[in-house]
Amino acid sequence: MKIIKIGIIANVEKEGAAEHTARLRDWAVKRGLEVYLEKGIAAKVGEHWGFERHELAPRVDMVVVFGGDGTLLMAARSLREYDVPILGVNLGSFGYLTVVNLNEMYGALEMIMKGEYRIENRMMLDAVVTRDKEQISEHTILNDVVINQGNLCRLVELETFVDDRYLTTFKADGLIISTPTGSTAYSLSAGGPIVFPQLGSIIINPICPHTLTNRPVILPGTVTIKVASWTEKGGATLTLDGQISFVMNRGDIVTVKKSKYCTKLIVSTHRDYLEILRSKLGWGGGPSGVYSG
């Protein structure tokens, strides 16, 4: 697909966000491209117009997101209904999702303008909360669904079913249900496996389980997971992508399954996923030269 219309979303709290947005806008306009700015960053760069995300997405061929992985997660949720690819540009060191550094951005964009780019479809999850048989909340997320006890130091009790078949009741500090993309986020910190983003799997990972034989489980992306909270003395806390949270009551049920939506990421033209893992996880060294490919 030829790119002729670019949208820009930026974390206005990040240092340099306005400066780099203005430079990219000017660079793109000089090349005959149309540029549409999100409302918040438009105001920061002195534009008198700007668009809400749901207004911007249908107008553009791609969206550039300035910020970190958190900014991209927020953008992914906002753009879930639109078939628009996202290029994440990190304003610090590159992340798992915002894999293009500032010094690589214009080179990457030149290649994208030539059609020399690749898109990865990243699986998303739908999470629905039911209370007394009534749906009270619904969200689509890219990284993870986390249920824990918040700031209170007590175990949560989470009765868990897979395709309506009982799995176990986790008594733990919490439970993480993540996508392959989210496997390198909170789930990894809690001892979960790294799952390549191309795999359509769902990871269930208990946080500090009371029963030490409780371990992470990787499930097919076709299953539906239901988790009922039976935590005593107050509800557990449900957190989505680390950015949306609310308190669950005893008896609330969270239903999680693969979403019909996906996030379309334009992947780095400078490095592959293995290199990203080596850099972010501090895996040292390089090939010995013995293996020639």
Write down the pLDDT at residue 276. Answer: 86
Residue burial 92-111, b: 16+ Cβ < 10 Å; e: rest: eebbbbbbbbeebbeebbee
Instruction: Provide CB contacts within 8 A for 46, sequence distance 6+.
Output: none
User: Which of 26, 61, 69, 144 does the annotation list as catalytic?
Assistant: 69
* Predicted pLDDT at 94: 67
Residues 133 and 108 occupy one common structural domain:
no
When divided into structural domains, the chain yields a total of 2
Question: What is the predicted pLDDT for the residue at 90?
Answer: 93
**Dist. CA 248–CA 275, nearest whole Å:** 39
Task: For residue 47, give the DSSP letter.
Answer: -
Q: Which of helix, strand or coil describes residue 284?
A: coil
Same domain, 109 and 12: yes
C-alpha dihedral over 6, 9, 14, 18, to 10 degrees? 50
- How far CA 197 is from CA of 103, 121, 148, in Å, comes to 25, 9, 25
97 shares its domain with 127? no
Q: Which of 243, 55, 246, 78 is nearest to 147 (CA)?
A: 246
Q: What pLDDT is recorded for position 151?
A: 63
pLDDT of residue 272: 83
Token code pair at residue 164:
């309506």
Residue 286 lies in a domain: no
- pLDDT attached to residue 234: 65
Are 228 and 195 in contact, with CB atoms under 8 Å apart? no
The domain of 49 spans 5-118+267-281
Task: Decide if 144 contacts 243 (C-beta within 8 A).
Answer: no
Strand-pair partners of 224: 257
Q: Residue 158's closest CA among 168, 143, 145, 144?
A: 168
Residue 288 included in any domain: no
CA distances from 2 to 118, 266, 289 (A): 13, 14, 40
**Is the residue at 204 inside a domain?**
yes
Q: What is the rounded radius of gyration, in angstroms, for the C-alpha atoms of the chain?
A: 21
Residue 113 identity: M
Q: Which two tokens stand for residue 229?
A: 């909270």
Same domain, 127 and 256: yes
Residue ranges for the chain with pLDDT beneath 50: none
Residues 130 and 231 in one domain: yes
Q: Is position 176 within any domain?
A: yes
Please report the pLDDT score of residue 152 as a whole number: 64
- Cβ burial, residue 115 (10 Å; 0-12/13-18/19+): exposed
Do 149 and 199 lie in one domain? The reply is yes
Within-domain flag for 189: yes
Q: Is 69 a catalytic residue?
A: yes
Residue 286's pLDDT is what?
72
* Residue 111 sits in the same domain as residue 147: no
Residue 165: inside a domain: yes
pLDDT at residue number 237: 94
